[in-house]
Structure 1
Amino acid sequence: MVGIILFIFFSLLAILVCTDFMKYLVSGRRLFGYVTTRIIEALMVIGLPLLFILSEDRGLENNCCAVNIFFSPAHRLTIYTWIAACIVAFLTCSGRRLIFPPVIEVLLNVLLLIGIILNILIACHEQEFLWLWGNLPIGLLFIIALMENQKKLILHTREKGLSGDTFLTRTAWKVLSLSLIFQFPILLLLCLPVIMVVTSILLLFGQKPDAAVRAFTETYKHGFSQLDHLCRNVECGGHFLCSVAAKGHKNVVKPERLGVRGGGLIICNRQLLVANAFEELLEEHLPKTHKVIRRNYNRVGALIHKHYAVFDHKYLCDVVYLAMKPAEWLFLLVLYTFDRAPERRIARQYLGKEERKAIAEFRL
């Protein structure tokens, strides 16, 4: 319920921001007054990224079965630093009436441009249309901030003119005095030295020079993820040990049939079907206990993932299968003790809805 309310709330804010942007393009005026505009900007530029990080990027372990991992944990400090720097630049520009020294003005514009680029990258990495409701309005607000900076600078030059005591300040004024169309490629080039300075500082905190890239690529199942190939044959949320055991020699693990899980095919042996049937029974009658056991069992899956190549050896899978035999017998004992139709429950594991329904309705 809370998630739905937040989605509706920020969707309405996104619509207001888009409307505000269109009006600004047409008339050069904002849709709302000073206070209302600042509140909307704060909610979108501060509140929404914070909500995103807390909900989508709070995980600590980066693997195939991890949840809430959007940026690579080892490199997310770099991305968070850039997000914070861009937010500070935006808030500094938002609603101000004073003009800063030219070098600071150029730096603010560069950070605003980086913020726009970062928003585009995050939207592509997310690969879901819903988060464009966040990235799009934030990007539009940053564009408005750039245009507002240009407008304030024009007014400033008309009143006081441009002056500089050094070559650096004179050059900065010349860049700022250009129209946005010509200013954009120069600001894009100036992003490089700013990135180099920030990256050098982050090196002192253990970040790598390419951490900004690795934060996106060293992840799983996102737009720029480069580790998806490591997730082949990894069944998240499944019975990891039994799944691995099913890859052993056929005369040992005795595969029975193919099953369906997450839209893909998996090899099912008796041990895997029994284990899944036991978990289903446990979830039905003792949901809290099941949740605790599943959480701890997922840690086994994470351990297997880290050394998954080792489990490609059939003999090791045979050993795992045999080691799981006592657990399989225990699961069977529980099923035959507390379930009226244990074999029917076992038979319907990892089947489609129609097959499960047919087994449930079957009468001898």
Structure 2
Amino acid sequence: MRLLLILIGLPLLVSLFDFFGFLIKGKRVVNIVIIRVVEIAAFLILPYMYISLDEKNDCCGDSAAFSPEHRLTIWVIISLCLVAYFYSSYRKLISTPIIEIAVNSFLLVGIALNIFIAFQTKDTTLAIGGNLPIILLAVLVLAKNQRTFIEQSQELEFSPKNKLEYLAWKILNLQPIIKLPIIFILCLPVLVIVSAILLLVGQKPDSIIRAFTDTYKHGFSQWDYKCDNVQCGGHYLCSVAANGHAKIVKPERRGIRNGQNIICNRQLLISNAFEDLIKDGLPFLHKPIRKQYDKVGNFIHRYYGIFNNKFVSDFIYILMKPLEWLFLLTLYTFDRKPENRIGKQYISKADRQLIDKIERRTTSHLQNTGRDQQT
């Protein structure tokens, strides 16, 4: 945690100080060694830590910020923006007009991309500590590019080789207030070229958009509806089975799971009571069993439309019957009050605490009555 605070706090403080120093004095005020350290933290370590987390879409946990299917496009664009930044930061001489346009275009793309990422993640800490320093440093490098070009272009005798190079040279010689909007517009054909190349490795023409939209629970997510009716936690197979035809699965009552109302049948209650028994009696065994069962849940989340079918639910209910009988046999063998444990499943926490309190009082009263009879 301390390392994370340093990685977020240091780039933010240094970039803010350097940015406002540049606005006031017209030059960068932070030592170049400190700037290099901050660049590594802001542009390399933080992005790596960020993109290495949450690699899949998940309705029931932290979900990927970028669509797994389309994230390659984002990674490539981020990589090109990083190349543009470090090239601009370290180089001493200007390059050809077309390369200068491309470099400035990717710097602007990087700034825009960080704004979109901040909205996508909806994480204030990440936006302020991660995206903002990158944006400020990129703006400072853009200013450096402008100043370097003005200083060196006056000393060069430029002779364009073709019309495209001549046009690029003209754009670079414009005032920043005119030049930057034009370069920003030129970002579009640059991104189109990148997307066209990525088609060769399986990406789609709109992958740069779908990387944001084909996700769950984020700023630009369009797949939130896929998490509707997905119950997280608990016994997935039995939960699905409880959605079958009433004559087959025999629902008994409503229950509460993760704050949502669910339909409970006998099979679901017995299965959860069995897990409850394992958790109380063999906690070391419960975790690996739960882990394997969660894999089944992940499979159902992925193909929820199939498992939401009543006939499929009926089939699963019948398929689970032998396990239900095994669970029930285990409960009656190792639990003194199996039906009490079954009845307490999927009720509110307050109701369960009240029942536990009544059971303790009843047990205590019976023990005291037994002692009185013995004396």
User: Which stretch shows the higher mean deviation, 278-287 or 96-105?
Assistant: 278-287
C-alpha change, 1:104 and 1:350, in structure 2 (3 Å) is: same
Contact 1:65 1:302 in 2 (8 A): no
Shift of 1:229: 1.6
**TM, length-normalised to structure 2:** 0.86
**Aligned with residue 78 of structure 2, among 79, 83, 89:** 83
Contact 1:110 1:187 in 2 (8 A): yes
What's the counterpart of residue 115 of structure 1?
110
Shift of 1:340: 4.9
Shift of 1:201: 1.2
Matched, 1:7 2:7: no
Matched, 1:294 2:290: yes
User: Separation in 1 of the partners of 2:126 and 2:151?
Assistant: 37
In structure 2, what residue type is equivalent to 1:192? L
What's the counterpart of residue 65 of structure 2?
70
Total equivalences in the alignment: 357
Structure 2: which 5+ runs fail to align? 363-375
* Structure 2 residue matching 1:209: 3-state secondary structure: coil
Structure 1: which 5+ runs fail to align? none
User: Separation in 1 of the partners of 2:279 and 2:14?
Assistant: 45
**Aligned with residue 331 of structure 2, among 328, 335, 338:** 335
User: Which stretch shows the higher mean deviation, 25-34 or 281-290?
Assistant: 281-290
C-alpha change, 1:361 and 1:325, in structure 2 (3 Å) is: same
User: Separation in 2 of the partners of 1:22 and 1:102?
Assistant: 30
User: Separation in 2 of the partners of 1:151 and 1:328?
Assistant: 75
User: Separation in 2 of the partners of 1:27 and 1:346?
Assistant: 73
C-alpha change, 1:30 and 1:336, in structure 2 (3 Å) is: farther
Q: Per-residue displacement from partner, 1:99-151 (whole Å, max 9, x unpaired)? A: 22221111111001111111112122212222212112212221221122112
Matched, 1:100 2:122: no
Shift of 1:46: 0.8
What's the counterpart of residue 44 of structure 1?
42
**TM, length-normalised to structure 1:** 0.88
1:158-177 equivalent positions in 2, closer than 5 A = 158=154, 160=155, 163-166=158-161, 167-177=163-173
1:1-364 equivalent positions in 2, closer than 5 A = 4-13=1-10, 14-57=12-55, 59=56, 62=57, 64-65=59-60, 69-132=64-127, 133-158=129-154, 160=155, 163-166=158-161, 167-363=163-359, 364=362
User: Separation in 1 of the partners of 2:241 and 2:180?
Assistant: 58
Q: Per-residue displacement from partner, 1:24-82 (whole Å, max 9, x unpaired)? A: 2222333421111011111111111100111233x4xx454575533222221111111
User: Separation in 2 of the partners of 1:251 and 1:226?
Assistant: 37
Contact 1:71 1:215 in 2 (8 A): yes
Shift of 1:162: 6.3
C-alpha change, 1:248 and 1:83, in structure 2 (3 Å) is: same
Contact 1:74 1:215 in 2 (8 A): yes
In structure 2, what residue type is equivalent to 1:330? L
In structure 1, what residue type is equivalent to 2:54? E
* Structure 2 residue matching 1:362: 3-state secondary structure: helix
Shift of 1:173: 2.5
User: Which stretch shows the higher mean deviation, 346-355 or 218-227?
Assistant: 346-355
User: Separation in 2 of the partners of 1:134 and 1:79?
Assistant: 17
Shift of 1:254: 2.9
Shift of 1:319: 2.6
C-alpha change, 1:174 and 1:284, in structure 2 (3 Å) is: farther
* Structure 1 residue matching 2:201: 3-state secondary structure: coil
